Amino acid sequence: MRCAYHRDYFVALPPSHPFPMAKYPLLLERLLREGLVAPADLIEPAEAALDDLRLVHSEEYLAQLAAGTLDAAAMRRIGVPWSAALWRRSRLAAQGTLEAARAALDDGMAANLAGGTHHAFADHGEGFCVLNDVAVAVRALRRDGRLRRALVVDLDVHQGNGTAAIFADDVDVFTFSMHGERNYPLQKMRSTMDVGLTDGVGDDEYLELLGRHLEDIFESFAPDLVFYLAGVDPARGDRYGRLALSDEGLAQRERQVLETCRALGRPLAITIAGGYAKTAERTAELHAIVFREAHRMEAATSGMAASCQHPCPAGS
């Protein structure tokens, strides 16, 4: 599976900052080490073109981001200090999702080892999100005539408020968000379908709800491409998540999404979105699960499971 990654996805933050920036290089290292991604499958994105960003974001917001002139309140809302490196990083990650989407349309499945910045609105950022990568990818692909209908499956534990707002009046984009009802953002936007979970929800209830809703969505909507925000903040022990998925529960979740798209022949572009485990290493370990499941599925599909270098336990 082709994966977009750039070393400048990582930007140094103050040591006390809650955002686990180190998870990006740690995830790449892990995927290469475990043989889940081959070096030849890596796509290095350039910075997203301003013309592509303008398909979603306001001219004023982009100009202020480029010049570093957003006011203190706007920066507090984003929650990450502005720097030229942050602006570059945001554009690289947005392009990474666009590259992953293009690769998914060609290959059936692809990923960005970043992205899923779903709290970014057209005219402002918030919740560690600067640019809405999925929205930019949808609009750019549509402009290029490669896409009409897109489905966004957002399983980050926080509601995809920016994505919901951007596509509120767009009948060709189905936004599905399953999130903690009492979690950030306090004021939810309206997605095409929202599933708000109570605190403490664990594997059984989560997986049952997900399966049921995915089935309903695909019965009524036929997307040309599915974007998956595979946030791992619903995991038990996440600093912000308030839910209680086990590692096996997360693996089952990923299988449900991947296998549903595969069975229906819907191309799938994966972004990693949020995750706030106790350490960045643990967060990267959780993000690796979706890649392990994708690898296993691809190996099984191509009939190469027997010769696979990676340990793929039978029957899972």
User: By the criterion CB under 5 A, which residues form the site for Zn ion?
Assistant: 156, 158, 231, 233, 274
At closest approach, how far in Å is the CB of 65 from Zn ion? 21
Residue (53 or 230) nearer to Zn ion, CB: 230
> How far apart, in whole angstroms, are the C-alpha atoms of residue 160 and residue 153?
10
Residue (19 or 221) nearer to Zn ion, CB: 19
> How far apart, in whole angstroms, are the C-alpha atoms of residue 164 and residue 265?
25
At closest approach, how far in Å is the CB of 311 from Zn ion? 30
**Comparing C-alpha atoms, which of 240, 205, 265 is closest to residue 128?**
240
Sign of dihedral through CA atoms 116, 119, 124, 129?
Answer: negative
Distances (CA, A) of 1 to 57, 113, 293: 30, 12, 11
**Comparing C-alpha atoms, which of 167, 214, 216 is closest to residue 190?**
167
Tokens standing for residue 123: 């005219």
At closest approach, how far in Å is the CB of 19 from Zn ion? 11
At closest approach, how far in Å is the CB of 312 from Zn ion? 29
At closest approach, how far in Å is the CB of 209 from Zn ion? 18
Residue (231 or 267) nearer to Zn ion, CB: 231
At closest approach, how far in Å is the CB of 249 from Zn ion? 17
| Type of residue at 87 | W
Closest-by-Cβ residue to Zn ion is 274
Residue (101 or 243) nearer to Zn ion, CB: 243
| Type of residue at 134 | V
At closest approach, how far in Å is the CB of 229 from Zn ion? 9
- Report residue 53 CA to chain centroid gap: 18
> How far apart, in whole angstroms, are the C-alpha atoms of residue 245 and residue 299?
26
- Largest Cα–Cα distance in the chain? 57
Residue (99 or 156) nearer to Zn ion, CB: 156
> How far apart, in whole angstroms, are the C-alpha atoms of residue 292 and residue 284?
12
Q: Strands, E, within the chain: which ranges?
A: 2-4, 42-43, 109-112, 150-154, 173-180, 193-197, 225-229, 268-271
Residue (223 or 275) nearer to Zn ion, CB: 275
Residue (221 or 240) nearer to Zn ion, CB: 240
